[in-house]
Structure 1
């Protein structure tokens, strides 16, 4: 007797979200690479420009571990886009300060990020774009806002930018 494959009763939401997320990340990486940035470098520049933030705070926003953050900031410093400085509020803390060139590049990279997102959404009819964004926002703010505890760690999703 052969076992029967179980019948799927729902759309494979995991595949749909994973595949579209993966392809979007590859397109974003390719677009940002044209100006010598990674998505992580873009994230650090933009969030460091918003307000004075420490390396630890920026790592949390970008969902980066300590080692990845150090490598990212090292790359930004080497490119002359950011530098580590003492905080104006707490001299013991070090902040990531964006240079003038870094601020210019952040403007450029934000235009690239917006363009990649626009191109992805533009492939849908207008009413589907609105519905998709509304539905994803409902999931992110509701049922799928918090990861489940799991005995086996899974890669954490990047946190939503405020």
Structure 2
């Protein structure tokens, strides 16, 4: 029995493999400053403006449980802390400490280097198109953060 002929390359497999490879390179590089990619992402987004854990989780592509453990680790290391929001007394935000800011700035240079190396094989004029394509593939309604796969209910 012959397999069906493929009309397209396995885009899903290629994107997964590329993402896995890049994630591993980034994790190894960020180990130089004792951060994980998750921690770096949360620190950078928390430095941009006052944000809650839920907002940071969405921006950092993290589920709530992973976000809590990431912030716990950032607090343990003295890189961030949970604080009451300056604008909403009911909300708690993640504030980056001075130490966290220094580490995040150093780590961002590493992230930029790794991403630059990953794009080195793409002609400069093609980089924007490549990034636009990835954004398009993610979809306009892409919600940063893992989403559960919805399976049809059994009948």
User: TM above 0.5, one fold?
Assistant: yes
TM superposition shift of 1:47:
0.8
Q: Which residue of 1 aligns with 2:64?
A: 66
Give per-residue Cα distances to partners, 1:83-117, cap 9 Å, x unaligned.
Answer: 11111112222111111111111111111111111
CA RMSD of aligned residues (A): 2.1
**Runs of 5+ unmatched residues, structure 1:** 154-162
Q: Which residue of 2 aligns with 1:54?
A: 52
TM superposition shift of 1:11:
1.7
Q: Structure 2: how far apart are the matches of 1:41 and 1:75?
A: 8
Instruction: Give the TM-score normalised by the residue count of structure 1.
Output: 0.80
Structure 2 counterpart SS, 1:17: helix
Alignment CA distance shift 1:150-1:30 (3 Å): closer
* Greater relative CO (CA pairs within 8 A, separation 6+): 2
Q: Structure 2: how far apart are the matches of 1:150 and 1:105?
A: 35
Structure 1 counterpart SS, 2:9: coil
Q: 1:87 aligns with which of 85, 88, 99?
A: 85
Instruction: Give the TM-score normalised by the residue count of structure 2.
Output: 0.84
Alignment CA distance shift 1:126-1:62 (3 Å): closer
Q: How many residues align?
A: 147
Q: 2:29 aligns with which of 6, 12, 31?
A: 31
Structure 2 counterpart SS, 1:84: strand
Q: Structure 2: how far apart are the matches of 1:63 and 1:130?
A: 22
TM superposition shift of 1:131:
4.0
Structure 1 counterpart SS, 2:33: coil
TM superposition shift of 1:12:
1.6
Q: Structure 2: how far apart are the matches of 1:152 and 1:48?
A: 34
Structure 2 counterpart SS, 1:136: helix
TM superposition shift of 1:54:
1.2
Q: Residues 4-153 of structure 1 correspond to what in structure 2 (within 5 A)?
A: 4-140=2-138, 144-146=139-141, 151-152=150-151
